[in-house]
Every structure is written in C-alpha cells, then in structure tokens.
Amino acid sequence: MCGRYASTRKRHELLQEFEVELDTGEEIGPDYNVAPTKQVYAVMSRVPKEEGREEGAERPVRQLRVVRWGLVPSWAKDPSIGSRMINARVETVAEKPAFRRAFASRRCLLPADGFYEWMKAPEGAKPAKQPYFIHPEDGGVMAMAGLYEFWKDPSRPDDDPLKWLCTCTVITTDAEDGVGHIHERMPMMIERERWAEWLDPRVNDASRLLVPALAGRLEAYPVSTAVNNVRNNGPDLLEPLKDDGDRAVLF
C-alpha cells in the first residue's frame, strides 16, 4: 500500500513540470509527511465549464488542483468512507464499484518526491518496523497514478462553496524488485510519455497505460521513526538514518 509520501515542490515548479495550462491558483505548502485526509496536489484534465458552450466543442485542459487524499465515491452517504479509500489496487481498479467510474474518466497524476514504506525488522529488533524513504534515484518528481471523484454534500445549500468535495486515491501495484524486500506494494507510476493519454477523460480504456515504471531507478534508505507520527513534518524526515553502531539499520 501507499500510506505516506512526501510532496515538497512549489506550485510554480509543478505547473512547469506537468505543463499545466490552467492555473487554478490553489496552493498548499511543502509536506514531508503526507498522510490520508490531507490536502494534496493533483494534476488532471477537465473541460472548463462555460455558459453557452456546445457539448464536445472544447478539449480537456490540464490543470493543477488541490484535493483531499481518500476517495469519496459520488454515491457515498458521508465523506468518512474516504479514510478507507486511500489506495486502489491496479488488479481490481477497473471493476471495484468505488473506483470503476473514476477509472473510466477521472484519472489524475499525484506529484511526489517519494514515498515511505515500513520494513518488518528481525525478531527482537527495535523498532519492530523500520521506515524507509523510496524515491527516484535522479531526484525527479514521481507522477503517481491516481483517480479523483466529486462528492456532493446534501446537507449544504447549492451556493455553499463547500458543497462539493474533491478527493483522490493512489493506484498501487506490485513493488519492483529493487524495493520489494521492503514492502510488496508500491504506487503505480505513469511515465511522462503516457501522461496525456492517462489524463484524457475521453480515453475510456486506460488499462493498457498501467504498466510497470521506474524499474531499477528507485533508491531506498532508512529514515527516522519520527515519520511514524503524522504531526511531525519537516525536511529532517528525509534525512538518511545513521547507523549508531548498536544495530543494523539495513535489514
């Protein structure tokens, strides 16, 4: 699974990196410990709504938006279900009721510097699970495959700006060999040459775009257990853990 990641690039960097055409102006600060239900950046392509436009007259426009991590299906009774929908397995994403409609036309890219996973330590070792930070070896931005959905709050009036909630989920796949010893799952990455098709809501069958990416190009190193607490946030969380000589930090 993917339950924590780091996303520290500034908005203007992401606008350039993902060749965003429509800047919504929404901005959030760098986050070194992104956890479920937090606000995150998502790159998506949507047709801008304008009065008087004929259906099909405009193409989707790539934009950068701020959404909440934890997908809330449109049919959900309340948004609390989102905390259990932070990941969608690539093997079932096209069939599961919670994800299939979004997979058909509401796909997004979730920018990340890297993600955290916890490796089970040998019996008797402390900590029982050692956190690792996994990131592209070249320091580039990861484009995690995601889905987004809109949920309408029936308790709010139509003119309430909080009437609509936009949420997302991260698609996961089998971990590539280089990091599979840490955890068996990892986020699905979308290679740059597939971004346009993945984001295009007119592409109905995106299954062919879900192919392994970044094989052999990921680096992993142990980090402090401070990342375990979602209240901790800062660049120090990405610092490699130093072996104090009392225990092996690489299992």
> What are the catalytic residues?
2, 117
Return d(Cα 16, Cα 24) in angstroms, integer.
14
3-state secondary structure of 217: coil
Largest CA distance in the chain: 70
β 61-69/164-174 pair status: parallel
Return d(Cα 130, Cα 126) in angstroms, integer.
8
